[in-house]
């Protein structure tokens, strides 16, 4: 037996409005269409629900009983509809967020902790995982990732960006001052030196403003190799390489190293770097969060490329209120960390 809930709702509307004509006007439906729906409903039920004349309509006994059930159905549907709309505007319910370890402790966890204090009905689940998990398989509402998806049906929103910095502890720097002397590296690399940043000739020292004004191809970056311990993330491999750009002139420099240690988590990387075990590549927002004197950047006149951070979700254009609220909270926290608060 196929139950036509739409026809049940239309029947209730006819009863409550007093006539087919009035109901059709309220529903924005042609009178003939509504009449046909009622006729089909009576045929399917095998009973007469309404006695209709040109002047009035009257419920039959079967129609009266049927109307009570139809009204209850409408009330349930109305309540369900209202509840769904209200829940979409509340900061409540379960939310699952995944992010790499490098982003979780400094960005995601504190941002969401503040939000949960403000809205205690939020049920938070955080997943710290460097691998890119399938959102559907793991029940993830928001995945925070470094880098934009090349092509995907998932929705993505940029949260901000950061730069990686080559860092070392004070004790390590004191022990390896010679190895970390960029002037010395470049003096050995080039026979001709023309004030910092170094290059083959004075033309390479032309300001980046002039370079940007032309369409000339950028010169090949200079390259040096570090001769001191380096702590690498697993994803860097045992021969990490970083391209840096001089902040003022745009001079490009490639730093090559050989990993003396490899780790698979940021906490381990930080622990080794703080203990003076070697140089490490650390996001600038984490470096800014360190206790004073623990770690500091080296080659401070140069900076690495920017890395965009995106929030990924699978809700299409109809993003739930809680998801939007969490994304906004994380974005604002990242802005404060990177000192880009408007």
- What are the tens digits of pLDDT across the range 270-307? 999 999 999 999 888 888 776 545 888 888 888 888 89
Q: Is the pLDDT of residue 205 over 50?
A: no
Q: Which CATH class is domain 164-182+221-307?
A: alpha beta
Per-residue confidence (pLDDT) for residue 340, from 0 to 100: 57
pLDDT given at position 291: 52
Determine the pLDDT at residue 1.
Answer: 62
- Cβ neighbours for 225, distance < 8 A, ≥ 6 positions apart: 256, 257
Domain positions in the chain? 5-88, 93-159+309-339, 164-182+221-307
Rounded to two decimals, what is the model's pTM? Answer: 0.64
DSSP classification of residue 334? H
Nearest to 304 by CA among 189, 205, 190, 161: 161
Does residue 201 carry a pLDDT above 50?
no
pLDDT at residue 57, as a whole number = 86
Domain 5-88 matches domain 164-182+221-307 at the CATH topology level: no
pLDDT above 70 covers a percentage of the chain that reads 84
Mean pLDDT of the chain: 83
Q: Using a pLDDT cut of 90, give the percent of the chain over it.
A: 36
Cβ count near 180 (within 10 Å)? 20
Please determine, for residue 329, whether its predicted confidence score (pLDDT) is greater than 90: yes
**What fold does the segment set 93-159+309-339 form as a domain?**
D-Maltodextrin-Binding Protein; domain 2 (3.40.190)
∠ Cα 141 147 149 (to 5°):
65
Query: Which pLDDT score, from 0 to 100, does residue 194 have?
Result: 41
DSSP labels for 188-200?
A: HH-SS--SSSP-S
Q: Would you state the pLDDT for residue 88?
A: 57
Return the pLDDT at 342. Answer: 47
Q: Does the pLDDT at position 251 exceed 50? A: yes
**Topology annotation, domain 5-88:** Arc Repressor Mutant, subunit A (1.10.10)
């Amino acid at each position: 037996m196929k139950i036509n809930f739409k026809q049940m709702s239309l029947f209730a509307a006819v009863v409550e409005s007093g006539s087919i004509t009035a109901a059709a006007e309220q529903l924005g439906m042609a009178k003939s269409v509504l009449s046909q729906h009622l006729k089909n409903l009576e045929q399917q039920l095998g009973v007469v629900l309404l006695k209709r004349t040109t002047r009035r309509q009257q419920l039959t006994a079967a129609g009266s009983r049927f109307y009570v059930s139809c009204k209850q159905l409408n009330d349930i549907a109305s309540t369900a509809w209202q509840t769904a709309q209200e829940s979409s505007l509340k900061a409540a319910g379960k939310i699952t967020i995944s992010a790499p370890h490098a982003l979780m402790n400094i960005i995601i966890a504190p941002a969401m902790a503040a939000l949960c204090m403000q809205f205690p009905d939020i049920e938070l689940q955080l997943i710290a995982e460097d691998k890119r998990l399938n959102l559907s398989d793991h029940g993830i509402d928001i995945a925070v990732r470094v880098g934009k998806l090349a092509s995907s049906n998932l929705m993505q929103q940029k949260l901000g960006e950061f730069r990686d910095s080559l860092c070392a502890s004070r004790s390590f720097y004191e022990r390896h001052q010679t190895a970390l002397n960029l002037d010395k590296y470049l003096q050995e690399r080039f026979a001709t030196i023309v004030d910092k940043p170094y290059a083959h000739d004075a033309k390479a020292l032309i300001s980046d403003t002039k370079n940007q004004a032309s369409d000339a191809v950028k010169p090949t970056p200079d390259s040096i190799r570090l001769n001191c311990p380096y702590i690498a993330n697993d994803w860097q491999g045992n021969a990490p390489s970083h391209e840096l750009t001089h902040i003022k002139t745009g001079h490009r420099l490639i730093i090559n190293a050989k990993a003396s240690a490899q780790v698979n988590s940021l906490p381990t990387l930080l622990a080794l770097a703080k203990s003076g075990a070697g140089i490490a590549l650390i996001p600038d927002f984490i470096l800014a969060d360190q206790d004073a004197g623990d770690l500091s950047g080296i080659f401070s006149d140069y900076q690495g490329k920017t890395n965009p951070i995106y929030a990924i979700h699978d809700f299409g254009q109809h993003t739930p209120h809680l998801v939007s609220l969490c994304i906004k909270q994380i974005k604002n926290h990242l802005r404060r960390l990177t000192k880009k608060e408007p």
